[in-house]
Amino acid sequence: MTDQRGFFIVLEGLDGSGKSTQAKLLAEYLRAKGRQVLLTAEPTDSCVGRIIRETLGGGVPRAPEELAALFLADRIRHNTDPENGIRRVLASGSDVVCDRYYYSSFAYQGMETDPEWVARMNLDCPVVRKPDLCIFYDLDPETCFGHLRGSREHFEIFERDAALIEKTREQFEKAFALLKGRENIVRIDAGRSIGEVAADTQKTVDGLLGQNG
Where helices occur in the chain by DSSP H, the ranges are 19-32, 47-56, 64-80, 86-91, 102-108, 115-123, 141-151, 162-179, 194-212
Q: How far apart are the first and last CA of the chain?
A: 18
Please check whether residue 78 lies inside any domain of the structure: yes
* Structure confidence by residue, pLDDT tens digits, 94-146: 999 999 999 999 999 998 899 999 999 999 999 999 999 999 999 988 887 77
Please check whether residue 82 lies inside any domain of the structure: yes
- So what's the pLDDT on residue 72? 98
* Structure confidence by residue, pLDDT tens digits, 165-190: 888 899 999 999 999 999 999 999 99
Q: How confident is the model at residue 150 (pLDDT cuts 50, 70, 90)?
A: low
Please check whether residue 32 lies inside any domain of the structure: yes
Please check whether residue 3 lies inside any domain of the structure: no
Calculate the CA dihedral of residues 182, 106, 39, 72 and round it to 10 degrees: 110
What is the count of structural domains for the chain?
Answer: 1
Domain ranges, residue 16? 8-212
Please check whether residue 2 lies inside any domain of the structure: no
CATH of the domain at 164: 3.40.50.300
Query: Average pLDDT over the chain, rounded to whole?
Result: 91
Please check whether residue 201 lies inside any domain of the structure: yes
* Structure confidence by residue, pLDDT tens digits, 61-85: 899 999 999 999 999 999 999 999 9
- So what's the pLDDT on residue 151? 54
